[in-house]
Amino acid sequence: MKKILQSLEEKINQIGKTSHPDKLRYEALEDLERLKSEISIIDFQVSKGLKDKNILNSLLAKTSENLENALKNLRNQKDELKILLDTLPALVYFKDSQLRYHLANRAFLDFSGITQKELEGKKLKEVFKSYLPIGDYENLEESVIEKGKFFFNVEEQLEKNGNIIWVHTNIAPVRNHTGKIIGLIGVSWDITDQKKYEDELKYSKEIAEEGEKIKDRFLTNMSHELRTPLNGIMGMAEILGKTNLDNKQQEYLKNLRNSGEHLISIINDIFTYSSLEKEEVKPIQKAFNTSELLQNTAQNFKEKLLEKSLKSVIDLDKSIPETIKGDPQLLGLILRNLYSNAVKFTETGTITMRAVPVSRTTENELLVRFEVEDTGIGIPEQYKDILFGSFTQLDTSSTKTYQGTGLGLAISKKIVNLLKGEIGVESKWQNGSKFWFTVPLSLENLETEEILYNKQKILELLKEFSVLLVEDNLINQKITSLTLEKEGCQVNLANNGKVGFEKYQQKLYDLILMDIQMPVMDGLEATQKIREFEKSKIDRHAFIIALSANALKEDKEKAIASGMDGFLAKPFKPEELFQLLFNLIIKK
């Protein structure tokens, strides 16, 4: 453009000096056209530049607005996240890959007692100077950073204002968009109150367990201290009953026996209830004769029925198999408890015991309903709901007519529940009562080769046996030895376990009746020594029966574990001893 202007200027200056001005004029006009064209191009370029500038300015303005909105959203999200984290009661924190704190919520800052600014860049022990590690927390954090592991339910201790604080923590790795671990996040809870509660619960449990142990020791001691003299009383009464007594003396003896049996019943109820409470009673499946079960129950109350002139009726439905499978011992205990109450609360009339089928629960199981019905005083409606409670008695006055612990029905209910059955009562005041319970009984594998008890057979065998009685109590020595000698047995005595073991080494007795609690050496240790002696020196096995005033389940288990063959709790009747010996020596 500059060149065109210079050329135009030269031509204008030469027009007045030349002889051919038209030519110069024509050339000048051409220069003007070229100049005009250049100016148009420049004008277009300027206009285009201005337009591009406006577009750029518009784009910059839009980008700036977007950035401002994005920053605003980020600030909002940050504020929302902070509000959320600060609302949480848990202690939340973020650490970088060097395990330095970078961020924490309000709960964490309040707990640690420092500000966010003071927290940043610090490590665990710089924040919590009284950190009391009980686990491996710091190593766990390193595993999170190095291996990307997650850890849950980590418990640690801290000290704060002189108090021990328990915290429960979960930790997890934090990764960037490429998957690289850039730190970890931790969430902790102050579980100090929970730990205190657990400690209190543990302490309460220990106290309860210790109380249970004390109760067991008390029951064991009570059992021994009550059963030992009772064994003497009942044993002497048994021996006295076989002598010549006049009517007056027989009446005195009957009262003595009744009082003794009542006391034994109370002791047995207490121990049975304790065993049921501790869930030590386990039902067994055994084939038994249903008719014999009912007959034996009624037979136990023969004398009391005669005393009151009560009639006894047994009604066994013919559709119930003669032999059925269940737990005859537990069923017998329930029936005896119900029958005992019926006799106790009935002055005239009839006690009826029946068994009827209810339904087939499965192909091989029959639901049977047992009933004990009386014509006694009945039960007021308001007392029916509390009948099966522990130690429940309808008459608790000082002038009450009927004796008892109030445990019989509670025991029966617990046993029925154990046998997966139901129990209940139908009664009206002054119009008798009907107690019933249902239990499922098995019809499978009822074949049995039951050898019936034969007293004569066991007595004939015992006459050929050499018998050693190991007992420290003189009265119990007399009772047991007199009982056996009266049946023709020869009995030798030992005053404690040590003497008993020495006598067995000198003479190989066939039967040893062993007390448990004795001075010098108890029955358990003596039995162990006898079994060791038999195993190492001789090839034989003497029958050892525990005759113990300790009647708890664990006492029997200890006796059997020591090597004894059987266990009989004092006081016992001669018939019980003979039946136990029959089962051990002949039946097996």
For residues 67 and 119, membership in a common domain is answered with: no
Which sign does the torsion angle of CA 461, 463, 466, 467 carry?
A: positive
**450 in any annotated domain:** no
In the chain, % of residues over pLDDT 70? 81
Q: Which two tokens stand for residue 347?
A: 């002055």
**464 in any annotated domain:** yes
Q: Which residues lie across from 470 on neighbouring strands?
A: 494, 514
For residues 270 and 293, membership in a common domain is answered with: no
Token pair 């032999």 in the structure block, residue? 323
Whether residue 552 is predicted with pLDDT greater than 70 in this model: the reply is: yes
Ranges 394-403, 435-444, 547-556: which has the least confidence:
394-403
- Please report the pLDDT score of residue 109 as a whole number: 87
List pLDDT tens digits, range 263-280. 888 888 888 888 888 788
List pLDDT tens digits, range 296-329. 899 889 888 998 999 999 999 999 988 899 999 8
Q: Which 3 state secondary structure label does DSSP give 131?
A: strand
CATH number reported for the structural domain that contains residue 178 in this entry: 3.30.450.20
Whether residue 34 is predicted with pLDDT greater than 80 in this model: the reply is: no
Which sign does the torsion angle of CA 546, 548, 553, 555 carry?
A: negative
Nearest to 322 by CA among 446, 453, 438, 440: 446
**438 in any annotated domain:** yes
List pLDDT tens digits, range 37-69. 776 766 666 666 666 666 666 666 666 666 676
**160 in any annotated domain:** yes
Q: Which residues lie across from 166 on neighbouring strands?
A: 157
**388 in any annotated domain:** yes
DSSP state of 453: P
Whether residue 244 is predicted with pLDDT greater than 70 in this model: the reply is: yes
Residue type present at position 3: K
- Please report the pLDDT score of residue 131 as a whole number: 73
Whether residue 5 is predicted with pLDDT greater than 70 in this model: the reply is: no
Alpha-carbon span 292 to 296, nearest angstrom = 6
For residues 435 and 459, membership in a common domain is answered with: no
Residues 433/384, Cβ–Cβ less than 8 Å: no
For residues 436 and 475, membership in a common domain is answered with: no
Tell me the residue range of the domain where 236 lies.
200-274
- Please report the pLDDT score of residue 100 as a whole number: 92
Give Cβ neighbours of residue 548 (< 8 Å, ≥ 6 apart). Answer: 515, 516, 517, 523, 555, 559, 567, 568, 569, 570
**195 in any annotated domain:** no
Element (H, E) at 205: helix 192-240
- Please report the pLDDT score of residue 74 as a whole number: 63
List pLDDT tens digits, range 357-392. 999 888 889 999 999 999 999 988 888 778 887 655
Alpha-carbon span 212 to 255, nearest angstrom = 36
Alpha-carbon span 310 to 298, nearest angstrom = 12
Distances (CA, A) of 443 to 99, 354, 361, 366, 439: 71, 19, 11, 7, 13
- Please report the pLDDT score of residue 399 as a whole number: 38
Angle at 552 between CA 282 and CA 475, to 5 degrees: 140
Residue after which a domain boundary falls, among 442, 474, 496: 442
378 against 35, higher pLDDT: 378
List pLDDT tens digits, range 460-517. 888 889 999 999 988 889 889 988 888 888 899 999 999 999 999 999 999 999 999 9
Of 78-87, 463-472, 546-555, the range with the highest mean pLDDT is: 463-472
Give Cβ neighbours of residue 546 (< 8 Å, ≥ 6 apart). Answer: 514, 515, 516, 523, 556, 559, 564, 566, 567, 568
Q: Which residues lie across from 351 on neighbouring strands?
A: 312
- For the chain, give the mean pLDDT: 83
CATH number reported for the structural domain that contains residue 252 in this entry: 1.10.287
In the chain, % of residues over pLDDT 90? 30
Distances (CA, A) of 321 to 289, 362, 368, 399: 9, 16, 11, 47
Distances (CA, A) of 543 to 163, 328, 588: 64, 26, 12
Ranges 16-25, 402-411, 434-443: which has the least confidence:
16-25
Element (H, E) at 174: strand 163-175
For residues 553 and 478, membership in a common domain is answered with: yes
**326 in any annotated domain:** yes
Residue after which a domain boundary falls, among 84, 99, 126: 84
Quote the number of domains for the chain. Answer: 5
Question: How many H helices and E strands in the chain?
Answer: 18, 18
Alpha-carbon span 458 to 453, nearest angstrom = 9
For residues 261 and 390, membership in a common domain is answered with: no
CATH number reported for the structural domain that contains residue 397 in this entry: 3.30.565.10
- Please report the pLDDT score of residue 356 as a whole number: 94
CATH number reported for the structural domain that contains residue 569 in this entry: 3.40.50.2300
- Please report the pLDDT score of residue 65 as a whole number: 67
List pLDDT tens digits, range 440-450. 999 887 665 55
- Please report the pLDDT score of residue 398 as a whole number: 37
- Please report the pLDDT score of residue 159 as a whole number: 76
Q: How many CB atoms lie within 10 A of CB 323?
A: 16
For residues 80 and 96, membership in a common domain is answered with: no
Q: Number of C-alpha atoms within 13 angstroms, CB side, residue 431? A: 6
Give Cβ neighbours of residue 222 (< 8 Å, ≥ 6 apart). Answer: 267
Q: How many CB atoms lie within 10 A of CB 463?
A: 12
List pLDDT tens digits, range 521-544. 999 999 999 999 999 888 889 999
For residues 422 and 312, membership in a common domain is answered with: yes
List pLDDT tens digits, range 219-233. 777 777 888 888 888
- Please report the pLDDT score of residue 537 as a whole number: 82
- Please report the pLDDT score of residue 44 as a whole number: 63
CA 567 distance to own-chain centroid = 30
For residues 75 and 95, membership in a common domain is answered with: no
Nearest to 480 by CA among 503, 441, 508, 512: 512
Nearest to 163 by CA among 140, 196, 187: 196
For residues 80 and 95, membership in a common domain is answered with: no
pLDDT, average across residues 340-347: 92
Residue after which a domain boundary falls, among 68, 84, 100: 84
pLDDT band at residue 396 under the 50/70/90 scheme? very low
Give Cβ neighbours of residue 142 (< 8 Å, ≥ 6 apart). Answer: 99
572 against 415, higher pLDDT: 415
Element (H, E) at 143: helix 137-147
For residues 426 and 472, membership in a common domain is answered with: no
- Please report the pLDDT score of residue 88 as a whole number: 79
For residues 108 and 164, membership in a common domain is answered with: yes
**447 in any annotated domain:** no
